[in-house]
Amino acid sequence: MTRGRQRLLATGLEVTVPILLLVIWAVASSASETYYFPPLTDILSTFADTWVFERVGSDVVPSLVRMGLGFGIAVVVAISTGLLLGLSPRARRAAAPIVEFLRAIPPPALLPFAILVIGVGNSMKVFIIAFVCIWPILLNTIDGVTGVDPTLRDTTRVYGINRRDRLWRVMLPAASPQVFAGMRTSLSLALILMVISEMVASTNGIGYFVLQSQRTFAIPEMWSGILLLGILGYTLNGVFVLIERRVLRWHRGARASALG
Amino acid sequence: MTSVARPAAVRRRRPPLRVPDWLLPWVSVLGVLVLFEVLPRIGVLPRDHFPPISETLSTLGEELGEAGFWEAVSNTLQGWALGLGIAAGLAIPIGIVIGSSRLLYRASRGVIEFLRPIPSVALIPLAILIYGTGLESKVFLAAFASFWQVLVATLYGVQDVDPVATDTARSFGFSRLQRLFRVTLPSAVPYIATGLRIASAVSLILTVTAELVIGAPGLGRSINLARSGGNEELMYALILTTGILGVLLNGIFVRAERRVLRWHPSQRSGEAGA
């Protein structure tokens, strides 16, 4: 097979396989009598009724704002802290037990605490989302900085490149593939925690809608919410990958190695 | 040349009065403990929301003697282990197979990218329906969530193999299988290890979430009960317990990682690079 044909085949598969699976789902569920597994067509028509665009302003936008704020705060805090800890072995030593402990607490366990202390409003949700998203990015930034080839590190030092340039032109770029891997993980965690926090205490949002639908046995609505969350996650990830690819263009071609 | 190979000579001189390195973690832990003891007592943190850390710790001490506490811990651990085990057992082989074939990767990418971000918590109603409110729901949610972590890490790892290394191995006549075990897997291991470490945390998160939301027996349910019962010391003691659990589990992974990845730059400190 020639290269061009193989590429064509790959693109074709990428498009057809998901469609094929959807068709299989639709056919398999079309005669479904099971209350909890309604036909796909029912789910889709409910989806159109619910989300285009009736509940966008009331549920989707608030959810996205919480998630964006939480994720944004986490990125800024985690990368700056990660660089600091990655560069200074002593700071890393001192912070290690605290970071390890806070990171290790399962965030839902903090929900009762957050509700008690912050209340049930938006700041509680942003806090929980940011809290969870920090750790994968922080961990990966530290790993990325400490994983920078020691020769490269020593070389820049020997050549007398100053601290700021070392940070911005060597450490950060060298760590960035790892940082992006962490951010990608955090993005999906942000979505998960958005849903959990909205399920536990909220009056709007997609998570609230899904749980509420389940409680009132509005099963097609519940499925349409799950579908929306899937689409949302897919879109967010797609946008993220585009950004990652642009930023890491130099890395892909130049050196796709075991930076860690 | 010889001085470059010795980073000890490059290291800057230390000023005379410093906390020795081995003491640093203890100093910072002690600092935090003192803060959380003093701040509630002098009223900087509201006392009814933040009991002094000594009260929380003594509650935790009492709990250590209770059979119910250990039962909750073992319930949570059971959910964590089964969830992570199932996820890793499925995700690593699948990740290697998909990652090493361009066609398979492209064919499954859309499906993976669509299924992966579906928050497993959105599937809680379904889990209850199919598996009830016990262990099985917990394991299903934990396995579903951690599966994607391991899978994506494995895919990243398999694909981020140095192309020069692969081409070299190929031109030296390594078979597909040999390339897999000698080139692809070793360079993917750091990614898989990180993926497993994160998946372990995710599995614990989902286990606790299931206990909180569904009410399956375990630490999550106990925390919720402590809060609704107004027993804040117990709530904090149990949150601390989940944190300690997480630290212990993570510690196991870090140790294993260090053993397996002795050769990798991130595990070497100060050695001259290859």
State pLDDT tens for residues A240-254: 989 988 888 877 655
Q: Which domain, by its residues, includes A172? A: 38-249
Chain A: closest CA distance from residue B195 (Å): 10
Report yes or no on A30 lying in a domain: no
State pLDDT tens for residues A204-243: 888 888 878 877 878 888 888 888 887 888 788 889 989 9
Report yes or no on A2 lying in a domain: no
CB contact under 8 A, A192 and B145: yes
Tabulate helix, strand, coil % of chain B (nearest 5): 75, 0, 25
Give the percent of chain A with pLDDT over 70: 95
CA gyration radius, chain B = 24
CB contact under 8 A, B160 and A21: no
B199 vs A165, more confident: B199
Report yes or no on A255 lying in a domain: no
Question: Which chain B residues touch A194 with a CB distance below 8 Å?
Answer: 119
Chain B residue closest in CA terms to A251: B160
Architecture of domain B53-261: Orthogonal Bundle (1.10)
Report yes or no on A165 lying in a domain: yes
Per-residue confidence (pLDDT) for residue B12, from 0 to 100: 55
pTM, full prediction: 0.76
The Cβ of residue B109 has, within 10 Å, a number of other Cβ atoms equal to: 17
Report yes or no on A257 lying in a domain: no
Q: What is the dihedral of CA B53, B54, B56, B58, to 10 degrees?
A: 160
Whether B213 and B221 have beta carbons less than 8 Å apart is answered as no
Per-residue confidence (pLDDT) for residue A252, from 0 to 100: 61
Per-residue confidence (pLDDT) for residue B203, from 0 to 100: 92
Domain boundaries, chain B: 53-261
The residue type at B228: S
Smallest Cβ distance to A97: which of B28, B109, B239? B28
Per-residue confidence (pLDDT) for residue B4, from 0 to 100: 46
Chain B residue closest in CA terms to A37: B126
**What is the Cα–Cα distance from B149 to A212, expressed in whole angstroms?**
28
Residue A197 parent element (H or E)? helix A172-200
CB contact under 8 A, B220 and A109: yes
Provide the CATH number for the domain around residue A90: 1.10.3720.10
**What is the Cα–Cα distance from B20 to A155, expressed in whole angstroms?**
28
Domain count for chain A: 1
pLDDT by 10s per residue, chain B, length 274: 444 445 544 555 555 567 788 888 888 889 888 888 888 888 888 877 888 888 889 999 998 988 889 999 999 999 999 999 999 999 999 998 898 888 888 888 878 876 776 667 778 877 877 787 888 999 999 999 899 889 988 998 888 888 888 888 888 888 888 888 888 888 888 889 988 988 998 899 899 988 988 888 999 999 988 888 888 889 999 999 999 998 899 889 888 888 887 777 666 554 433 3
Per-residue confidence (pLDDT) for residue A237, from 0 to 100: 82
Per-residue confidence (pLDDT) for residue B15, from 0 to 100: 56
For testing contact with chain A, the best of B2, B129, B266 (most A CBs within 10 A): B266
**What is the Cα–Cα distance from B195 to B197, expressed in whole angstroms?**
5
C-alpha closest to that of B82 among B177, B199, B172: B199
Chain B: closest CA distance from residue A18 (Å): 6
Question: Which chain A residues touch B247 with a CB distance below 8 Å?
Answer: 100-101, 104
State pLDDT tens for residues A78-101: 999 998 898 888 888 888 888 888
CA angle A8, A12, A18 (to 5 degrees): 155
